[in-house]
Amino acid sequence: MLIKDTVAIVTGANRGLGKCFVDALIARGVARVYAGARDPGSLTPLLEAHGDRVQPLRLDVTSDADARTAAEHAGDATLLINNAGVLESLGVMEAGGLEPLRREMEVNLYGTARMALAFAPVLAANGGGAILNILSAASLVAFPPFGSYSATKAAAMSLTHSLRYELQAQNTMVHGLYAGFIDTGMVEYVDAEKVSPRDIVTAALDGIEANVVDIDADERTKAVRLALRDDPEGLIRSSWQRADDFRKVYPANSSD
């Protein structure tokens, strides 16, 4: 799929990776970007930068009504970027209850599914188009300090694979984007090597244009893929060791 002249909708577009997606899509010559955010006022900097090529949408991906309304307003969309996500930075045992997992599932999994349900008919009517789901290296192997997040992203990966099968008949390509730590506010408290969000977005859009279904956007993810193939048990042990080291620096709930 060529990015130029497409009409895109980006969820969670007001900051971080979502904002970078909007900027990059405009730079690549899209006809229009519908920028979704729970607070449309937070989209003002994007509107000031790009004018009427960016159309603001009030969009909470946990709301069926918002998803339906977005599909009605963005009826010319050909590319859906499911970017909205939340991170609680807790394992289930650390949390001591299910609420953090529920919050993450509602956005990271159900939000992705909700938007796909709302926009699949729109994409079909416009020739098929594409969906990009923002996943994670944590979809591939769990990182225990982000235990509930890892579970939601693994579920979102499985959903991505299923949607890819279900939507092939309408000529909609469903891509998965995988990355490790990205230098955004979500993990600003983590002192670790991070990748520029602009580099991740560039890899994502290049992957869409090259029809790459599973886009590994950074070296950390590529290393995880190799380890899954060559030494999966060693990869799990390494993940646990990193988890031990992480919790020495960031005790449970330190990011709250």
Please give the mean pLDDT across all residues of the chain: 95
Round to whole Å and give the CA distance between 68 and 7: 17
| Reported confidence tier of residue 249, pLDDT bands at 50, 70, 90 | confident
Contact of 250 with 189, CB cutoff 8 Å: yes
Q: In CATH, what is the architecture of 7-249?
A: 3-Layer(aba) Sandwich (3.40)
Examine the pLDDT at 248 and tell me if it is beyond 90.
no
| Reported confidence tier of residue 243, pLDDT bands at 50, 70, 90 | confident
Contact of 81 with 23, CB cutoff 8 Å: no
Examine the pLDDT at 59 and tell me if it is beyond 50.
yes
Does the predicted TM-score (pTM) go above 0.85? yes
pLDDT at position 55: 98
In the chain, where does DSSP find H-type helix?
Answer: 16-27, 44-50, 64-73, 92-95, 99-104, 112-125, 147-166, 197-209, 219-230, 232-249
The H or E element containing residue 131 is strand 130-134
Mean pLDDT of 159-186: 96
pLDDT at position 192: 79
Domain ranges of the chain: 7-249
pLDDT at position 163: 98
Mean pLDDT of 4-25: 98
Contacts of 186 (CB under 8 A, 6+ apart): 16, 85, 87
pLDDT at position 256: 33
> How far, in Å, are 5, 138, 145, 165, 237 from residue 240 at the CA level?
45, 13, 9, 33, 5
Examine the pLDDT at 254 and tell me if it is beyond 80.
no
Helix (H, G, I), strand (E, B) or coil at 109: helix
Contact of 19 with 13, CB cutoff 8 Å: yes
Examine the pLDDT at 33 and tell me if it is beyond 70.
yes
Examine the pLDDT at 139 and tell me if it is beyond 80.
yes
pLDDT at position 242: 86
Q: In this predicted model, what pLDDT tens digit does every residue of 180-237 receive, in sequence order?
A: 999 998 888 888 788 999 999 999 999 999 999 999 999 999 999 999 999 999 999 9
Contact of 31 with 6, CB cutoff 8 Å: yes
10 Å Cβ neighbour count for 172?
24
> How far, in Å, are 10, 58, 148, 159 from residue 82 at the CA level?
6, 15, 19, 12
Helix (H, G, I), strand (E, B) or coil at 10: strand
Helix (H, G, I), strand (E, B) or coil at 133: strand
Round to whole Å and give the CA distance between 146 and 142: 8
Examine the pLDDT at 101 and tell me if it is beyond 50.
yes
In degrees, to the nearest 5, what angle opens at C-alpha 230 toward C-alphas 228 and 231?
A: 70
| Reported confidence tier of residue 148, pLDDT bands at 50, 70, 90 | very high
Helix (H, G, I), strand (E, B) or coil at 19: helix
Scanning the structure block, which residue is given the tokens 């994502």? Answer: 204
